[in-house]
Amino acid sequence: MLREWSERDISIFVLRKVREELNYFLANGKLQPLPERQLIIEPTFDDAFAFLNEIAEKKTRVSVDIEMLFRRFPYTVALATSPSVAMSIGFGDYEGEHGAKLWRLLDRIFRNNNQIGQNYLGFDSHWLETLGFRVNTGLVDDTMVAHHVLWPELPHKLEFLAMQYTREPYYKDEGRKWRPSEGKAKLMRYNCKDATVTYEVFLKELEELNFPKP
Amino acid sequence: MPLARAFFEIEKRGVAVDPAKLDELRRYVNAELAKSCAAAGGVIGRAVAPSTAEAVALGEGTLNLGSPAQLLVEFKRLGLKVPRSRKTGKESTGEDQLNTMFAETGHAFLREILRVRELNKVLGTYVNAKLANNILYASYVVTGTVTGRRSSRANFLGLGTNHQNLPKHSDLGRMFRRCIVARPGKIFVAGDQDQAEDWIVQAIIADNSGDASGLDELRAGVDRHRKLASFIFSRPLDECEKGTPFRFYGKKTRHAGNYGVGGNALSAELAKEGFHINKQQCEFFLAKFHESEPSIRGVFQRYVEREISTKRFLRTPFGRERCFFGCRPYGDNSSIFRDAYSYTPQSTVGDNTGLAILYFEGSCPGLVVMDLHDEVVLEVPDSVSAVIPAADQLRKAFDREIRFPNGTTIVIPTQFKLGYNLRDMAECGRYNEAGLLRTYNTLNQLPRA
């Protein structure tokens, strides 16, 4: 900060957040609890079906994020229905009729539901289409594009947006350093976290853009 | 957001590449690489290879042009003074430094190294870009620049390349553009905003000082790049027509002068297109430019500095805002100002292009194939009944009043081009049905390569 003047405003912003946390501690004698998130991983077919079916039926707005294996193959997809609830579903975890039913439900959601994503139009939706889903881009909101409109000169990666708009501690290493030997559960938890954080970011961006909340 | 949605569809189209022409270009580039390495070797008296792999294959004693350390040693042996990088402060063999050295010395070894680098770049970035069914894809990133212009790169599958930086004026650039062809039964229709950024700069000058002389020239259809070239080089106007190096120098000098760029950077910018002009000459061009256009420094740049110093942000006529966080209340803000000079013109032109694409995709979906910052390329069925309405629609798409804070209003005119490949596009001037028809018929009578 002392050597790079252009970082000054970001540093002041971060220090203000630190002060808020400190004030809470001084007033309450304990650290402010972190946001609670229900991250559902490795769901059974019945759980996944019930979750997706409810989203499809109620046309709930969902935050969508996919994780790749070796940066080449779509591996899991997480859908968050709010900043606090998300489920991660492996693309290849369900065989036969079960797999087909879940893929059809996912397709229905991508066609009919409002969707949110971080760089969704530039990355995730292309991969989803490659897998055979049809994404209705008219229903898509992209947190990266919104942030570019609001703050063109700031970084637009989710890690920065999470710092700017949420109280989620830095977690991006959980995904970046993940290796298959660590097990799928860890990646799915990270996947869910990305989806919920994106949802939270989206709501804050909407406030900033002066749009009515959904 | 709607623009991001439009580009989601545009990215899937890509542009066709003629595989035979591309193979021919690949062979040419490889032959030129061998020729340049041999010539460079002839100058220094030992074998030269363009990359590490080839240097290893040629054996010990071979100079690897891909190794900065080996190059530095060789430059010292040849008695060449190596400029230092501004960022690191160390001697550098980067492109800008080599261009500066060559512009200063004209050394044959440097000429060959620069040629090898250019050939390697064209080979790696364009000729060997991954294709799918002979389609060159690109991904347009709507969040790619702070100005709001799109940036471009290979798509999510690693297919294609950057569509927006295709070299234009060098021999290799021309040859590569010839490889990009309209699909069978289709023709390219391009709409280019004429001297677009100059319109914005002159409008800001008129809006802030009342001096509308530049804007009046633009409104009267004067080619100001050509006029500037004629002034700098003391040449008659007809020697500075579009397509001549003089006009190109004029254009680059105008942009550099508008945006506070110095002689070094202008020299490097020209070198990227294969024109090696040294720093002193570039400084002379810039001095002549400011002599002919005193209001650039006196009004335009002063306006930007005042806005940044008092508000710390700039707002374009389309309402896009950018904060300049690095601006200090004291001390040297010159690099921030240089960044800021280009913001409003580039952002406004980029947004105008974006709005035009949005309008066009809304009214005639499926035809836009390229966004080249101030130009949009369509691919339409090869018939009069398709070309004329598409051009008319594109004219309407660009036909937008741009209003400045004190009431100055402009509409940037659009120039049209038609062609079957990206290089040999026939100019049709501003929208005119008869002119377009004439150009289309002339193109159709020419033998198609």
- Phi, psi angle pair for B139, to nearest 5°: -110, 125
Same domain, A62 and A132: yes
H or E element in which residue A75 lies: strand A73-82
Q: Tell me the mean pLDDT per 10 residues along chain B, length 449.
A: 90 94 95 91 88 83 88 89 82 84 85 90 92 94 92 93 85 91 95 94 96 94 94 92 90 95 88 82 94 94 94 92 84 88 96 96 93 94 94 94 95 94 91 91 77
| Tens digits of residue pLDDT in A32-73 | 999 999 999 999 999 999 999 999 999 999 999 999 988 889
CA distance B309 to B303: 10
Tokens 């590490």 belong to: B52
Same domain, A178 and A81: yes
| Tens digits of residue pLDDT in B35-55 | 999 998 888 888 888 888 888
Same domain, A3 and A49: no
Is position A9 within any domain? yes
Name chain B contacts of A152, Cβ cutoff 8 Å: 146-148, 320-322
Is position A214 within any domain? no
Same domain, A90 and A193: yes
Same domain, A29 and A60: no
Same domain, A121 and A180: yes
Number of domains in chain A: 2
Best residue in A134, A144, A145, A202 for a mutation probing chain B (most B CBs within 10 Å)? A145
Same domain, A14 and A113: no
Domain B20-128 fold: Taq DNA Polymerase; Chain T, domain 4 (1.20.1060)
Strand partners of residue A62: A115
Same domain, A153 and A198: yes
> How many whole angstroms from its chain centre is CA B239?
23
- Residue B107: partners with Cβ closer than 8 Å, 6 or more residues away: B78, B80, B101
In 3D, which of B420, B422, B438, B417 has the Cα closest to residue B194?
B417
Q: Is the pLDDT of residue A3 over 80?
A: no
User: Nearest CA to CA, how far is B323 from chain A (Å)?
Assistant: 7
Strand partners of residue B49: B64
Is position A188 within any domain? yes
Say which CATH number the domain at A93 has: 3.30.420.10
Same domain, A26 and A41: no
Same domain, A90 and A127: yes
Strand partners of residue A39: A86
Residue of chain B whose Cα is closest to the Cα of A154: B146
Give the domain extent around A162: 34-209
Using only C-alpha atoms, what is the Rg of chain B?
Answer: 23
- Residue B58: partners with Cβ closer than 8 Å, 6 or more residues away: B47, B49
CA distance B205 to B376: 27
Nearest by CB to A152, from B1, B5, B322: name it: B322
Kindly state the percentage of chain A with pLDDT values over 90. Answer: 79
User: Nearest CA to CA, how far is B302 from chain A (Å)?
Assistant: 22
At what angle are helices B95-105 and B263-272 packed, to 10 degrees? 100
CATH number of the B196-342 domain? 1.10.150.20
Check residue B269 and give its pLDDT. Answer: 84
Tokens 């799918």 belong to: B132
The DSSP secondary-structure symbol of B132 reads B
Within B76-205, strands assigned E span 135-136, 139-141, 151-153, 180-181, 186-193
Do residues B285 and B253 make contact, with C-beta atoms less than 8 angstroms apart? Answer: yes
Torsion of CA B36, B42, B44, B47, to 10 degrees: 70
Same domain, A89 and A24: no
CA distance B34 to A141: 51
Do residues B418 and B438 make contact, with C-beta atoms less than 8 angstroms apart? Answer: no
pTM: 0.89
Nearest by CB to A153, from B9, B156, B322: name it: B322
Tokens 């699909």 belong to: B183
Do residues B421 and B441 make contact, with C-beta atoms less than 8 angstroms apart? Answer: no
Q: Is the pLDDT of residue A214 over 60?
A: no
CA distance B294 to B410: 22
Within A72-120, strands assigned E span 73-82, 85-90, 115-117
Q: Is the pLDDT of residue A146 over 70?
A: yes
The sign of the dihedral angle between the CA atoms of B52, B55, B60, B64 is negative
Contact B9 A142 (CB under 8 A): no
ipTM value, please give it.
0.85
Same domain, A95 and A9: no
Check residue A213 and give its pLDDT. Answer: 47
